[in-house]
Amino acid sequence: MKNSILLALTCFFVLSSCASLKNALPIPTDLESALALKEVLNSSTFKAIKTLNQMKNGGDALPKEIQPVLAAMRTLGYGDQVEKVTKSIQKASSVAAAESELIMKDAIKEVKFKDAAKIVVTGGDAATGVLKQVMYRTVTKRYSERIDKELVKTDVKKFWPLAAGAYNIFAKEKVDDNVSDFLAKRAVDALFLTTGAKEKETRADYKKVGSVVVNKVFDYYKDKKINTKGKIVKK
């Protein structure tokens, strides 16, 4: 009788353990966590670019900081060139914006995530933050080069340094006397800011990404947190 009870208890615990193992989510590898973050970033970037394009279509596509510089052009006696310069800058900015998705995709491919699992668990716009920290200069440089390629065909690079210099004499916040760098920095800042906002949205409904690896990684870590010792633990 005693042996029968022990056998029954053993079978119960074995079956319970098997059921638990069957229901347990597989632990993602570091590579899978990194790939999931990159897919989330690609999705977030696409949404960000779409949002920014809609905003530009609904109003002035130029950064507001450009207006004082254009005003300085008028003060210097180049008022008849302002409209021409404005249109040239708008066109160059549009050309660069059209290639922004490719530029960001290349940056996302290149970025290396250390402790990818912790970035997943941190939540918010953590992945965008890492991308910006590592790739900001590279992305800005590519933007600037693309804008510059368009502006060399115009007189913008002739007038901008003069106007920027005049404006900077009394300005508290100076503007870059390199117009391509000036435009690129503002475009990239807006892109990273909007991508971060879209990352938060994507994380909140990650199933919509439609990726097996994203589902696996975020399903596993959704009930995890980072403790005071920096370890990933169950909430």
Question: Could you report the per-residue pLDDT of 39-83, keeping only the tens digit for each?
Answer: 999 999 999 999 998 887 655 567 888 899 999 999 999 999 999
Are the beta carbons of 127 and 40 closer than 8 angstroms?
yes
pLDDT of residue 175: 92
Q: Phi, psi at residue 58, to the nearest 5°? A: -95, 0
pTM of the model: 0.85
Res 16 pLDDT > 80:
no
pLDDT of residue 180: 95
Cβ-Cβ contacts under 8 Å for 131 (sequence gap 6 or more): 41, 107, 108, 111, 192, 195
Q: How confident is the model at residue 4 (pLDDT cuts 50, 70, 90)?
A: low
Q: Kindly report, residue by residue over 100-122, the tens digit of the pLDDT.
A: 999 999 999 999 998 999 999 99
Structure tokens at 41: 């970033």
Question: Read out DSSP for 162-213?
Answer: HHHHHHHTT-SS---S-HHHHHHHHHHHHHHHHHHHHHHHHHHTGGGG--HH
